[in-house]
Amino acid sequence: MMKLWDKDISTEQRILAFTTGKDPIYDLELAPYDVLASMAHTIMLAETGLIAKEEASQLVEELAKLYKDSLEGSLVLEPGVEDIHSQVEMVLTSRLGDMGKKIHTGRSRNDQVMVDIKLFLRDELKEVAVESRKLAEMLLKQAEAYKDVLLPGYTHMQVAMPSSFGLWFGAYAEALADDLTFLQGIHEVINQNPLGSAAGFGSSFPVDRELTTRLLAFEEMHISSVNAQMNRGKTEWYVGAGIGAVASTLARLAMDAVLFMGQNFKFISLPPELTTGSSIMPHKKNPDVLELLRAKCNRLTMVASEVTSVTGNLISGYHRDFQILKEIIHPALDELMSCLDMMYYVVEHMEVNRNILNNDTYLYLYSVEEVNNKVQAGIPFRDAYREVASEIDSGRYRPGRDHAYTHTGSIGNPGLEEIEAKLNRAFEGFRFTETDKVVDALVQYFEKS
């Protein structure tokens, strides 16, 4: 196996296979970012005089070709090559000779993989934010369409007070807005440059970390080289927490929808083509899609804990344990994106029952309203409460169906415009990086200088 750290010592193949694990699979997802970071590093080497600008220009030109190859899937790990870092350096060396070997000057695989992960997760969080906002907007669309359709609210799984589909759909839209606000902080922590920290203790080369920070459009850099490396594991934990936040919102929405579809509720329905049947019961229309959304998202809430289970007792500095984190985070991000997309499709096709409250099950739904009416007539609240309770116990209760909810966030005023504004503020609070523009700037760097 070809290794950057090869010292002509033959490592047993069984050991190499075990230690490499699934890394080559996820390295291909990191490949564009490894090339991107290598371009910035090469420019920095030239600007600090560590390599000639003519050499750097040739290296960047070849790296630009590799970047295109990585996006198209034609950059692959050749048999026996340990990782994407080795592959990129090998290709450069095969094309440019010893010049290709100079690219590793002033960096370690430790800061190299760390910057790849940061760049990758920065883009992934952007996609999660975009899809979360898209789902929230669909929820608001449904909330507006059905804002005046009432449904019973529950506490302790008992009929409580009147709610509405405007409140229900709007609630989940606002929950996603809150999740986006949470993701903002995670994105800001992720968007820091570790490059130049080398193995976690800096470099005796005069590397310019501020320059690579600007070239890669990071918001700032990890100042301490030790902290830059300690952020491996912490970065994945932050992202896992963000995944869990969005997933918990989706899981609860899925649980509500499964319950509301049941024959005992009949609050909502899905078109038959979005349900599945039974092998023996011809009447069944099962909400399998919602049940799987619930299960997948419940599992995703544990991603941060899974990261902790790998990194919880590690001291500062690099450890090979970190490699396993790719196997946790990469599939989790794919799963969350799939769930966001599917939930959007399901919500888009939800149909609501407009006559839910006609059922006698909800006879006492307006009991609080009756108490409030008595209070407004001058009866102290506790006395009014006891009067209505006595009427219910004796069978004398004859509720009305009128309500006087006017405050923001109630059935009379679900606050959908305010939620939309909150959602937009949350999304616009991100300082997203346009990776394509970063690449273009790097490719053209020596042409403009």
Q: Cα torsion at 156, 161, 162, 164 (round to 10°)?
A: -40
What's the pLDDT at 6? 55
Encoded tokens for 326:
């790719």
Domains and CATH numbers, the chain: 13-105 (1.10.275.10), 125-148+163-196+220-358+414-431 (1.20.200.10)
Is 325:307 a contact under the CB 8 Å cutoff?
yes
Encoded tokens for 60:
């960047």
Encoded tokens for 429:
């609070």
Positions of the chain with pLDDT under 70: 1-12, 277-284, 449
The dihedral through the CA atoms of 128, 130, 131, 133 has a sign that is positive
pLDDT in tens, 318-359: 999 999 999 999 999 999 999 999 999 999 999 999 999 888
**263-298 burial, b if ≥16 CB within 10 A, otherwise e?**
eebebbbbeeebbeeeeeeeeeeebebbeebbebbb
pLDDT in tens, 72-113: 999 988 887 778 888 999 999 999 999 999 999 999 999 999
Cβ-based neighbours of 238, under 8 Å, separated by 6 or more: 186, 189, 190
Is 287:195 a contact under the CB 8 Å cutoff?
no
The dihedral through the CA atoms of 199, 202, 208, 209 has a sign that is positive
Average confidence score pLDDT of the chain: 92
